[in-house]
Amino acid sequence: MASSHKKVVLTGDRPTGPLHLGHYVGSLSQRLVLQEQHDQYVMIADVQALTDNIERAHQVKEWVGQVALDYLAIGLDPNKTTFFIQSLIPQIAELTVYYLDLVTVNRLKRNPTVKTEIQLRGFGDSVPAGFFVYPVSQAADITVVKGEIIPVGEDQLPMIEQTNEIVRSFNRIFNTNVFPEARAQVSSVARLPGTDGKAKMGKSQGNAIFLSDPEDVVVKKVMSMYTDPNHVHVNDPGKVEGNTVFTYLDVFDADKQMVAEMKAHYQRGGLGDVKVKRRLIDVLQAFLTPIRERRALLAQDMSAVMNVMLGGTQKTLVVAERTMQEVREAMHMRY
Amino acid sequence: MASSHKKVVLTGDRPTGPLHLGHYVGSLSQRLVLQEQHDQYVMIADVQALTDNIERAHQVKEWVGQVALDYLAIGLDPNKTTFFIQSLIPQIAELTVYYLDLVTVNRLKRNPTVKTEIQLRGFGDSVPAGFFVYPVSQAADITVVKGEIIPVGEDQLPMIEQTNEIVRSFNRIFNTNVFPEARAQVSSVARLPGTDGKAKMGKSQGNAIFLSDPEDVVVKKVMSMYTDPNHVHVNDPGKVEGNTVFTYLDVFDADKQMVAEMKAHYQRGGLGDVKVKRRLIDVLQAFLTPIRERRALLAQDMSAVMNVMLGGTQKTLVVAERTMQEVREAMHMRY
């Protein structure tokens, strides 16, 4: 049971494939800390994964399993974190439908996150309505468990703002305080670039190192990483800024002094890319090997893994139904 | 149990007040016939009632009771008709959320029914998202019970079209035949005008005779009905076309010969409005008295009335959950 000073934290992932180092740095690592401090929920957002491509529904179950494996392999602990599968919580859909009455079409059009993502996906005028309204669904995700702290990237701040607008409207119209406002906790960690040096590591970009990548794949991916294109000969001075291998070392190498020395050596010339990459491979393997081994072990019994997710879902259902009862009470819609 | 040739029929009403003669003529009377022929569901659309004004939620429960009384008072029979309350079927919300992914924002913008109703309500750019997407919710209402015959007014045809687009998309994408297409059954009965002669009887227009109106209110409303404004003196020839009292007599007076004679008399002059109105009062009271008496009796035990609605809702929940299981199966989203 959560003690009184614990807050409800909600995060989650769209299951569109296995998780990668970018997820770990940007979000998963924080969750390992948060599960020690708060009442943490982690949602596998299978319904949201379909908003921009419902045709991939048949793959979603497989991906949910992959994400679940990643969660448990990195050390998210079902005794400290409540996992749930979004599609199994019908109260989220129920709240979404009510919240749609609290938000105008124009307000949704102005949401900068949605605007950007509609452009990114090239939807133009044919954006699916489900994608267009997903800030409203997110408000339902958050409020169904009465989320108070929502760890997000900077780009997701408008989503939390939309949630709080809905919370305030609901509480005002129904003269209630059923819902707390949610506080965004913006990660202070810089985003991990892709192996190609691009700003964002993405599942579909071909520039991701997955938590589940086998040893040889990690070697291959690091060996082809983006460094300093002007560092042609070993003896040339090289740049460390924007050099992805050094960016990764900054994040993953605990031996900061060693990294500092390598940077200096690289900058004055005489340190080859391959040597730096070998160091990164060692560091990443040290980090990934226990995860990979634990993952392989867990994967031998996928039904046990899914049972952990379903157990959390059952706990969440109880909380969600309690929330819905309060919502119906506030709306005077109990029959 | 429905025998194999019976079809699933779905209709319903937004609970925004008691039902009136316009509802009876346009829809309720048909349902009395349909319940003898088919597997009929009648939905009290409390969720939909909030799409254009969520602030009235606190009144909805009272109105649900009023509509339930009207249903039972006119003779809809819980042994032949399954009543359900929309907000208690979460599967409708779940389907709505998935269907939103199958429809583009542009497609919704082009829906002529929604376009017209947005104008009527003067929403302009601040249309609530829930109102904007309600054709999608209606598709969920219909498909959750696998509705096959949907009795509608002419103006609602685009809604059935939208439902069938969703049905076809779903069945195509998931290579299934979970959902039948719905067939609109357009009423052949002309719409009953308001007592003021306006084309539509409306709850909020002040031109409705409610099924629950007391005897003296019916007298008063008929006495102030719109007739022929140029029929000033009893001996003047009067017009029967557009004369609301005669329109009502055509609908409610079983003695067609008597009506024909009165029309002829009125047209040649010598028949006063008051006499025609007295005839209509007699006819309406004969129609409304048993309804009113039955309603008063039922109203003595509202919890019994609500139990009838909740009993139907339980039956509908079983059907709805079976549909949802098939949907999850088709989408490969069973965990």
Gyration radius of chain B's alpha carbons: 22
Is residue B95 classed as helix, strand or coil in its secondary structure? helix
Cβ atoms within 10 Å of B258's Cβ, excluding its own: 13
pLDDT for A41 equals 98
Mutate which of B61, B89, B335 to disrupt the A interface (most A C-beta within 10 Å)?
B335
- In angstroms, what separates the C-alpha of B184 from chain A's closest C-alpha? 25
A2 located within any domain? no
**Which is more confidently placed, A319 or A118?**
A319
Of B137, B128, B53, B18, the closest CA to residue B89 belongs to: B137
In tens, the pLDDT along A274-332 reads 999 999 999 999 999 999 999 999 999 999 999 999 999 999 999 999 999 999 999 99
Angstrom distance (rounded) from CA A197 to CA A189: 17
**Tokens 């409708």, located at residue:** B92
- Rounded to the nearest 5 percent, the helix, strand and coil shares of chain B are 60, 10, 30
A1 pLDDT more than 80: no
Assigned token pair, B242: 């557009």
Contact between B25 and B211 (Cβ < 8 Å): no
- Nearest CA-CA distance, residue B71 and chain A, Å: 17
Look at residue B272 in the predicted model and tell me its pLDDT: 94
Q: Which residue of A has its CA nearest to B53?
A: A101
Measured between alpha carbons, how far is B91 from B93 in angstroms, rounded to an integer?
Answer: 5
Averaged pLDDT, B105-132? 90
Which residues of chain B have a CB within 8 Å of the CB of A91? 90
Same domain, B68 and B169: yes
- CA contacts within 13 A on the Cβ side of A259: 15
pLDDT digits (tens, 9 = 90+) for A220-256: 999 999 999 999 899 999 999 999 999 999 999 999 9
Residues A160 and A42 in one domain: yes
Three-state DSSP class for A264? helix
Asked whether residue A170 falls in the same domain as residue A271, the answer is no
A219 within some domain? yes
- Of B64, B101, B310, B326, which to mutate for an interface test with A (greatest number of A Cβ within 10 Å)? B101
Report if residue A206 sits inside a domain: no
A200 occurs within a structural domain = no
Query: How confident is the model over B225-234, as a mean pLDDT?
Result: 92
User: Which distant-in-sequence residues (6+ apart) come within 8 Å of A301 by Cβ?
Assistant: none
Claim to verify: residue A221 and residue A163 sit in the same structural domain = no
Per-residue pLDDT at A53: 87
Continuous segment of H or E residues that includes residue B186: strand B183-186
State whether A229 and A319 are in the same domain: no
When mean pLDDT is compared over A69-83, A110-124, B102-116, the highest value belongs to: A69-83
Q: Reduce the DSSP state of residue B210 to 3 states and report it.
A: strand
What is the pLDDT at residue B4?
Answer: 58
Say if CB A245 and CB A272 are below 8 A apart: no
Q: What is the pLDDT of residue A187?
A: 80
A24 and A124: one domain? yes
Q: Are residues A29 and A46 in the same domain?
A: yes
Same domain, A249 and A312: no
By residue count, chain B amounts to 335
pLDDT of the residue at B2: 45
DSSP helix/strand/coil, A193: coil
- At residue A4, the pLDDT reads 57
Q: Using the 8-state DSSP alphabet, how is residue A156 labeled?
A: G
Tens of pLDDT, residues A260-278: 999 999 999 999 999 999 9
Cβ-defined contact of A106 to B100 (cutoff 8 Å)? no
CATH number at residue B219: 1.10.240.10
Minimum mean pLDDT range among A203-212, B3-12, B60-69, B173-182: B3-12
Mean pLDDT over each residue of chain B, to the nearest integer = 95
Counting the structural domains of chain A, the total is 2
To the nearest whole Å, the CA of A124 is away from the closest chain B CA by: 10
Question: Rounded to a whole number, what is the distance in Å from the CA of B95 to chain A's nearest CA?
Answer: 8
Q: Which residues constitute the domain of residue A244?
A: 213-296
Consecutive H or E run containing A280: helix A273-299
Q: Is residue B204 part of a domain?
A: no
Locate all alpha helices (DSSP H) within chain B, ordered by sequence.
21-23, 29-37, 46-49, 57-74, 90-100, 105-109, 112-120, 129-132, 134-144, 157-173, 215-223, 244-252, 256-268, 273-299, 302-330
CA distance A70 to A211: 7
Neighbouring residues of A263: CB distance < 8 A, sequence distance ≥ 6 = A240, A246
Sign of the Cα torsion B99, B101, B105, B107 reads negative
When CB atoms are compared, the residue of A87, A101, A334 closest to B50 is: A101
In Å, how far are B297, B306, B309 from B72, measured between CA atoms?
11, 11, 10
What SS3 state is found at B97? Answer: helix
Tokens 């609605």 sit at which residue?
A: B309
Comparing CB atoms, the residue among A50, A58, A94 nearest residue B101 is A50
- Same domain? For B268 and B317 the reply is no
What are residue A40's DSSP bridge partners? A9, A81
Question: Domain check: are B92 and B20 in the same one?
Answer: yes
Half-sphere exposure of residue A295, counting CA atoms within 13 Å on the CB side?
21
* Cβ B296 vs Cβ A25: under 8 Å: no
Q: Give me chain A's average pLDDT, please.
A: 95
Residue B203 belongs to a domain: no
Whole-number pLDDT of residue A2: 45
Q: How confident is the model at residue A120 (pLDDT cuts 50, 70, 90)?
A: confident
Classify the C-alpha dihedral B315-B95-B87-A150 as positive or negative: positive
- B97: distance to nearest CA of chain A, Å? 6
Which whole number is the average pLDDT over A106-127? 89
Cross-chain CB nearest to A335 (options B88, B97, B332): B88
A54/A130 same-domain check: yes
The string of pLDDT tens digits covering residues B147-182 is: 999 999 888 899 999 999 999 999 999 999 999 999
From the number of C-beta atoms within 10 Å of its C-beta (0-12, 13-18, 19+), residue B98 rates as buried
What are the beta bridge partners of residue A8?
A39
Same domain, B228 and B282: yes
Q: Which residues of A touch B55 (CB under 8 A)?
A: 173
Report yes or no on A208 lying in a domain: no
Substitution target from B87, B100, B137, B175 for chain A, most A beta carbons within 10 A:
B100
Residue B57's CATH number: 3.40.50.620
Collect all residues of chain A within an 8 Å Cβ-Cβ radius of residue B94: 87, 90, 93
* B200 domain-assigned: no
Q: What pLDDT is recorded for position B1? A: 46
Render the burial of B274-310: b for 16+ CB within 10 Å, e for the rest.
eebbebbbebbeebbeebbeebeebeeeeeebbebbb
Q: pLDDT (tens digit, 9 = 90+) per residue, A189-225?
A: 778 999 999 988 988 889 999 999 999 999 999 999 9
